[in-house]
Structure 1
Amino acid sequence: MRPHGVLPEFLSRFLRSKLVVRQTKHLMTGNTLPRLQTRDIEKLLIPVPSEEHQLAICQEARSREAKAMQLQQQANAELERAKAEIEAILLGVVV
């Protein structure tokens, strides 16, 4: 498969999307390591927006992923603080 006019990052994100995974799940073969046949992949209809739009989509996706990672780190830090406070309460330490 040789994508024409498709940015590799856009193609990668599209192929990993829930839409494609749902559409191809029934085509996967193999129990230990499920895989798709090349002929099945070649039949996929892939929307190809302009390169500018693909870039914008990828940039927005990266931005949202970075924000999600930041929020995850904040949540983990808050969880650790809460655990420490609960442990202090259980041990009778003034918080």
Structure 2
Amino acid sequence: MLKPPAANMPGMTDTLDFVKNLWGSMNLPGTNMSGMAAPPMSVEDLDKRIADLKAVESWLNLNLTMLRGTIQTMEVQRATLSTLKSMGASMA
């Protein structure tokens, strides 16, 4: 049976749990289970939630950059292996 992708990366589960807990603790409008509108928030609460969301955004951008780099590295490896294979076939 295959493991989910996060289970294959050390530390990834902890990071995902952190983001889930952070996201769940924000009580954003439309995310509460009762279906009722969220109570009005103070400016301080809004500032804190904005800061929290910006931290999550930074984390997601970092992970996106790392993912793109990994994909690009694998594409270069694939091209290199393909070139070496075709060179070996032409020499044989």
Larger RCO (CA under 8 A, 6+ residues apart): 1
Higher helix share: 2
TM-score by length of 2: 0.49
TM-score, normalised relative to structure 1: 0.48
